[in-house]
Amino acid sequence: MKLNKVLMSVATMAGVVAAGSVAANADVVTVQQGDTVWGFAQETNSTVAQIAQQNNLQNPNLIFVGQQLQIGQTVQQSNAQAQAAAAQAQANAEAQAAAAQQAQDAAAQAAKEQQQAQANAQAQAAAAQAQQEAQQKAQEEAAAKAAQQAQQKQADEKQYAQRQNQVNYNNANRTVQHVVRSTQAPVSNNTSSNNGGLDAANAAARAWIVARESGGNYNATNGNYYGKYQLSRSYLHGDYSPANQDRVANQYVSSRYGSWVNAENHWKQCGWY
């Protein structure tokens, strides 16, 4: 109910009450044999309760012959009383209207808070989803990186193993077989004779390899590899002279690569020959 409507109805009622007083004539009757309060109520269009209250009857069913009773009541309300009643009614109406407005405001505030709570919940859910997606993406990237590193490591290890296999003992023995066949030939002390037959390209290729293997040092050692060409000791058969190193190196390159140029190309690709 709107506040202005409540106040209007209260003002109307106050005007009616203040306009005059309500009056009803009261009669005094003497109880005769056979009279009852109920009978008096029927005759005067009253009620048993009203007659009992008006005459302070404790038991409306117990009256005595000769007893005088007031039937009907004159009620006078002064203008002040009427105004007081109207003011009270208006105050009550205003209180009801204020309570209704408070309830409406409270409902609006509750709806607003509920809407805000829903918005907060949606924001939190979105943030949680974004965080979960970010974590999942980070995990996937880390897993991909780890897989790539493992793959690269495996490839490096495979390449290293292949390189080692090139110089393993079995390959060395195959090369030695070519060298052994020429071990009976006399060794020349003139190392320049071993350069015979090499054109400028092959001589340059041999010099390029020597520079990287030993720096031209006939006594350079690296584990099982010895000399100017860093040949396996098993190839040299204990003869570490420069002449034997030159001769065995030429035979090794010729049997394995066909030329020093090819050996140089292989070294550039693999880092060894």
pLDDT in tens, 123-135: 999 999 999 999 9
Q: What average pLDDT does the segment 151-180 reach? A: 60
Q: What is the mean pLDDT of the chain?
A: 80
Q: How much is the pLDDT for 120? A: 93
Q: Where are the domains of the chain?
A: 169-270
pLDDT exceeds 80 at position 111: yes
Lowest mean pLDDT among 17-26, 65-74, 235-244: 17-26
CA 131, distance to chain mean position in Å, is 3
Identify which has the larger pLDDT, 46 or 3.
46
Q: How much is the pLDDT for 174? A: 46
Q: How much is the pLDDT for 166? A: 60
Residue 65 to residue 34: CA distance in whole angstroms: 9
Q: How much is the pLDDT for 158? A: 78
Sign of torsion over alpha carbons 146, 147, 152, 154:
positive
Q: What average pLDDT does the segment 137-141 reach? A: 92
Residue 179 to residue 80: CA distance in whole angstroms: 144
* Under 8 Å between Cβ of 229 and 249: yes
Q: How much is the pLDDT for 192? A: 41
Tally of CA atoms within 13 A in the half-sphere of 55 that contains its CB = 27
Q: How much is the pLDDT for 267? A: 96
pLDDT exceeds 80 at position 16: no
Question: Mind listing the pLDDT tens digit for each residue in 19-41?
Answer: 333 445 578 999 999 999 999 99
Q: How much is the pLDDT for 199? A: 94
pLDDT exceeds 70 at position 46: yes
Q: How much is the pLDDT for 23? A: 40
Q: What average pLDDT does the segment 137-153 reach? A: 91
Q: How much is the pLDDT for 193? A: 45
The vertex-157 CA angle with 154 and 163, nearest 5°, equals: 140
Question: Mind listing the pLDDT tens digit for each residue in 170-226?
Answer: 444 444 344 334 333 343 444 444 455 789 999 999 999 999 999 999 999 999 999
Confidence class for position 163, pLDDT limits 50, 70, 90 = low
Confidence class for position 83, pLDDT limits 50, 70, 90 = confident
Residue 40 to residue 166: CA distance in whole angstroms: 138
198 CB burial (10 A radius; 0-12, 13-18, 19+) = middle
Confidence class for position 164, pLDDT limits 50, 70, 90 = low
The one-letter amino acid at 31 = V
The one-letter amino acid at 103 = A
